[in-house]
Each structure stands twice: as C-alpha cells, then as structure tokens.
Structure 1
Amino acid sequence: MAAVALPAMLAAPAQAQAPDVTRIVVGFAPGGALDVLARVLAEKLRVSLGGTVLVENKAGGSARLALVAVKNAAPDGKTILMSSPSPVSIFPLTYSKLGYDPDKDLIPLAHLAEVRVVASTGMKQPYKTIGEYVNWVKGKPADQGVGLVTMGSPIHFGLLSMGKTTGIPLTPVPYKGSAPILTDLVGGALPLSIDTIGGQMELYRSGKIRFLGVSGAQRSAFFPEVPTLKEAGIPGFEVASSWFGAFLPAGTPPATVARLEKAFIDAAKSPDVRAKMETLAMEMTGQPGAMLRKTIQKERAHWKPIAEASGFKGD
C-alpha cells in the first residue's frame, strides 16, 4: 500500500496546482528571515494578483537548488525566486560549476529589503568598541576566530578585508546557524561574531550581547547608537549587508515582468509589511528590478578581487 500511495502523494501537488497559482520559491528552510518575508509578501500578493500565492521552501545546495528550480520553470510569471545575495552575486566567483548563470537565466524583478550585519560580542569580554577589540586580539592567535554562518558570503569576504586592514590574521569559524553562535557569544567562548542583526535583537536589548559595529554606509535606523564598522575604522563592510530580492525565469514576457514588479514593490512599501519586518530589523526598500541588477553587478565587481586573492572555492 505504501509503495502505491507514495508516488500518488508526491504527484498530488503538481496535479492539484491550478493555472492561477503563483509559487514563491525560497532556498532555505521555513522560519528564517527570508522565509518570513516571503510569507508576509504572499499575503499582500494574493490580493493584488487576484489568485493563490504559495511559498515553497526548497532548501539545499546553499540555495542553489531553489535557483535551478526557478531557472527551469515555465517563464509565465507563476514561479518566482526570492533570494539573498550569495547565490547571484558571490557564487559565480567561487563555484566552477553552478548549474546556472544568474545573469542569463534570471530576470531581476525587485529589490525588496536590506538586512544589516553586525559585529557582536558577549558582555563578559573586556572590549566595548571594535577598536578595543582589535587592540585586544592582537597577539592572541587562540582568540582570532570570528564566528559566521556562511563561508563564501559577503560576510566572509568582509572579514578577510577586515583582517587585511587591521593586520590581524582573523580566522572565519563557520557555524551551522545563528543560534549556536549566540550561545558561544553569551557564554564567552567566542570573542566576536559577524552575522545578520535580526536574530540578535532581543539579546542586545536585554543586555546579554554588545554590538560593536554594523555594516552599511550609514547607521541603522533601528540602532542609531551603534556606529558603522567604517566609522569605527574598519572599512570593507559597506557592501557586506545582506539583502533580499525577487527574480523571474529568463524569457518571461515584459508585460508580465512589469505587472509583477509593481505588485512586489507595492507590497514591500506597504506600511503593514514594513511594520511586521521591523521586528527582524529588516529595512524594506521596494526598488525596481533595474536597481537590483545594478546592485548585483556592483557587489560582484567589489568582491571579485577579494575572492580571487583568498583562493576560496565553494565547490
């Protein structure tokens, strides 16, 4: 019975999907910041697009599986990718075989949100600024590890730039997620981490961790008291902030692209969406696809010499 039932169950979603169903594909498991944003936007898009909008989590391959799935989807506007920067900006620099060409296989639809990254430490540490950390960590090889989640990401290459600027051979220490990083920060086992702000807000507000500097060219509106890393004397993180954007398969008709672009931008700029995403320190942008394309090209040009000098390969 199981042998008969399983194929039927696997086939059911494809058989049941109606022509007016729009899928937003996310390359991460449910519960993360990108997944939350996709589900909040889906609620708005159900009204503006006048049909069913589903979020499909297709985790695996550092979000590459999701991108390939959208690349291979029919270019009819019914399958939309929501992605962070690495799969489209960084991976072309670090993977010899991707299975896709983001510039040829995808149409940038809309730049939706910016998510800052922050250098954090625990309250047990003696330094209160990034400058004090740099002075403290010099000559301490055992303490030069910096926690991060993804190797080959803007955060990783920003850290390499930081090491070059300070003259300290900082070592990226990859973690499986933000939760274990925060555990080690609070416990004092990890001197420094660089990660997105969202999951750290409550610990910061409750006085259990300290923010030493945020990415970006200007201070975050959510934490205006925290200087940018550049202000603190650490350049290299101006373009290391994460962002979320929407993409369509290449070949999607221009009229369809224009209709969906407007729908996503309107949703991203709506006051209720902004209010919901502020809880994750997510700064909604709502910019057109042309802006997203320029952002990707700018970031790739910035990180290319750093990635090449590092010798890092994602394969």
Structure 2
Amino acid sequence: MRHAFRTTLLAAALGFAAIGAAQAQSQPRLVIGFAAGGPTDLVARAFAEHLGRATGQTVIVENRPGANALLATEAVAAARPDGQTLLAAATNHTMIPALYAGRMKFDPVKSFRPICTIASSPTVLVVGPGLPVKTLPEFLERVRSKPGGASYGTPGQGSSPHLATEAFRKLTGLSLVHVPYKGAAPAITDLLGGQIDFSMATAGSVLPHLKSGKLHALAVASRERSSLLPNVPTFEEAGLKGFVVDTWYGVLAPAGVPAETVASLERQAVAFAKSPAVRDRLQAVGMEPASLCGDTFAQQIATEIVANTQLAQQLGLKAD
C-alpha cells in the first residue's frame, strides 16, 4: 500500500507517466542545447537535482550542443508530451526563428509549453590576456586602433551573446571578428588562453575567472549595477548610453503536456527559485533565481521572438 502511494505521488509531482515496466525503460530527462560547463548547463543541472530530490527519481541531463541549441530544441519538440522530456532553454531560444527559419522542424511558440524561468544573469563585457585594458574607454580606443579588428567569442552564431555583441558593434562602429563556439565554456577557455580578445558573456560563465583575476570585467549591460559585480560600472556609467541586455534561463515542455503536469512543474520551479540553498548556489556562479511562469513567460518569449527577428534582419544575422 505504501509503495503504491509513493509511486502515485511521484507520478503526480512531475507527470512522469507510464509507471512500472515503462518507467524501467525511460527516465525523465532535461535536454540542454549547449556543451557541459556553460551557464545553461550549470543552472539546468541544479534544477535537475532539485527535481530529483522532490520526486525520488533521477532526472537525466542530456547535452546536445550545436546550431545555437537548434538540435536540442528539435529533439524536445518531437518528444511525447508526457512530462518525461523537458528543454533547458535560454534567451537564445528567441533567436532561432530569425536564424533557422528554413531549417526548423518545429514552431518556436506553438511547439512548446513554457513552464517558468528559473534563473537570470547579467551580460558583461570581459577581456582576457589578449587585450589588457581596464576600462571601457580604453577598450574602445584599443580596438579602434587594432588592425583587422578585435576577435570575440560566443556560444554560437545567433546566440544571445552574439546578438548582444553585434548590437554593441553597431552602436560603437567597431570592426570585430566573430568566433563562434559550441557553448560558452569553450569560448571562455580560449579567452583565458588569449586566442580571442574579448567576450560579451553572461556573468554565470565568467564569474570564477573574474574573482581569480584571470579575466577583467569592463562594464555590465544592465540598467543598474549587478549585486554580483558591484564594482563593475554599467555601460551607461562607462559612457555608452542605451545598451541594456537581459539573459534568462528557463524550462520548456513539448506542447500538449497535461495541465496538471504543467502545474506541478511550475510549483517545482517556484520552489527552486525560493530555496535559499539554490540562491546561494546560483549566485556563486553569477546568476540569480527567477520564476516568471505560465502565460506570462510564454508572452515574453513571443515578444522577444518578434523583436529579435527584427534586430537580426537589421544586423544581417543568419546561420551559416
């Protein structure tokens, strides 16, 4: 009797259906469109651990890097809408329609049921040993005098850091060379090694290196200074007006997931964001908990898709 009650409770908590023999063949999984070690991966693994503790089931984390998360997004869009397969998405999700319109096998809005955001992170301009400057004005002067243009790394063509850097380039008139990677972690590795000059990175991908002094932050792209980087000026304070970029991380399910499953997932996402232990863990890697859920989250995604598609067209951005 106790075993039957516990099994029912687990199924209700996340909607992980097909108990018994079917469960033995399939485990819940959280799919990530970037390489291990980057900010999306870090927050997704923390959330997967939270879900595992809440349900007593191991949530498998599956990295499917490539094409600015297009491959991972396709996989989740095609999954059964039973709550077993979820997508760990980030702001770059809203760039996919602008970059891959001819290659998408899904609708970025209609193919998914947004659950909640679970974290956010400020975007920060960081330089490595290849570009030893200390302020934004020094950076601008140095890059303008650099033959061939300074190089910058991003998690991929059309990723949110790529879009942010292209907007920055348009605003400043700089000559820049884009070097795309399959995730934030390999881009930061090359930045540390001096293979690229700078990155418009999320704080979550660079905070440990900023604390160690291996990388240097010049400005943060938020309206106010970040509590994570209180000594780093905003772009406005550093002399560049109108440059604000927000980055979110969230969980999406395939469209058609039962309402009770969505409600359970939302409750888990909110509980995740409210946990003091989670807040400490996220802040340690440059993130803050967030829990924008349901229709409000869905509307934000739809709005960002329209805005980012227009911006990508203005900047001439498209996937290789």
Same fold (TM over 0.5): yes
Distance 1:298 1:213, change over 3 A: farther
Q: Given the alignment of the two structures, is residue 215 of structure 1 paired with residue 201 of structure 2, yes or no?
A: no
2:204 to 182, 198, 217: 198
- 1:107 corresponds, among 105, 113, 126, to 113
Q: Deviations over 1:242-279 (max 9, x none)?
A: 32111111112222211211112112221111112222
* Percent identical: 37
Q: Distance in 2 between matches of 1:200 and 1:141?
A: 27
Cα gap change, 1:101 to 1:273, in 2 (>3 Å): same
Q: In terms of mean alpha carbon deviation, does 117-126 or 288-297 score higher? A: 117-126
Match of 2:269 in 1: 264
Segments of structure 2 that go 5 or more residues without pairing to the other structure are 1-20
The 3 A distance-change label for structure 1 pair 114 and 78 is: same
CA distance in 1, matches of 2:192, 2:36: 26
Counterpart amino acid of 1:288?
C
Q: Which region of structure 1 is more displaced relative to structure 2, 246-255 or 200-209?
A: 200-209
Letter of the structure 2 residue corresponding to residue 281 of structure 1: G
Instruction: State the partner residue of 2:248.
Output: 243
- Tell me the secondary structure at the aligned position of residue 313 of structure 1: coil
Q: What amino acid does structure 1 have at the position aligned with 2:272?
A: A
Please name the residue that 1:5 is paired with: none
Q: Which amino acid aligns with 2:256?
A: G
How far, CA to CA, are the matches of 1:30 and 1:163 in structure 2? 29
Given that 2:97 and 2:309 are in contact with CA atoms closer than 8 Å, whether structure 1 keeps it comes out as no
Q: Which moved more, 1:161-170 or 1:188-197?
A: 188-197
| Correspondence 1:17 to 2:15 | no
Residue 143 and residue 45 in structure 1: after superposition, are their counterparts in 2 closer, same or farther (change >3 A)?
same
Q: Are 2:123 and 1:122 equivalent residues in the alignment?
A: no
Report the alpha carbon displacement of residue 178 of structure 1 after superposing the two structures with TM.
Answer: 4.7
8 Å Cα contact 2:149/2:177 also seen in 1: no
**Aligned-residue RMSD, C-alpha:** 2.8
CA distance in 2, matches of 1:145, 1:125: 10
For 1:262 and 1:181, the matched residues in 2 are separated by 35
- Aligned residue for 2:282? 277
Residue of structure 1 in register with 2:43 after alignment: 37
- Closer, same or farther in 2 for the Cα pair 1:101/1:132, shift >3 Å? same
Query: Which residue number in structure 1 is paired with residue 309 of structure 2?
Result: 304
Deviations 1:81-103 (A, max 9, x none): 111222x3001011122111121
Q: Which 10-residue stretch deviates more, 30-39 or 147-156?
A: 30-39
Aligned residue-pair number: 299
| Aligned amino acid, residue 117 of structure 2 | H
Is the Cα–Cα contact under 8 Å of residues 217 and 228 in structure 1 kept in the other structure? yes
Q: In structure 1, give the amino acid aligned to 2:105.
A: G
Q: Does the CA-based 8 Å contact 1:245-1:292 persist in structure 2?
A: no
- Structure 1, unaligned runs of 5 or more: 1-14
Contact 1:71–1:105 (8 Å) recurs in 2: yes
After TM superposition, list the pairs within 5 Å mapping 1:126-145 onto structure 2: 127-145=133-151
C-alpha separation in 1, matches of 2:293 and 2:307 = 22
Q: Equivalents in 2 of 1:51, 1:187: separation in Å? A: 42
Change (3 A) 1:122 1:138: same
User: How far 1:119 moved relative to its partner?
Assistant: 0.9
TM-score after normalising by structure 1: 0.83
Out of 291, 300, 305, the residue aligned to residue 296 of structure 2 is 291
Using structure 2 for the length normalisation, give the TM-score.
0.82
Whole-Å separation in 2 of the counterparts to 1:248 and 1:111: 12
Deviation (angstroms), 1:70: 1.9
Question: Offset at 1:111?
Answer: 0.7
Classify 1:34/1:184 alpha carbon distance in 2 versus 1 (closer, same or farther; 3 Å). Answer: closer
Seen in structure 2, the aligned counterparts of structure 1 residues 277 and 142 have a Cα distance that, compared at 3 Å, is: same
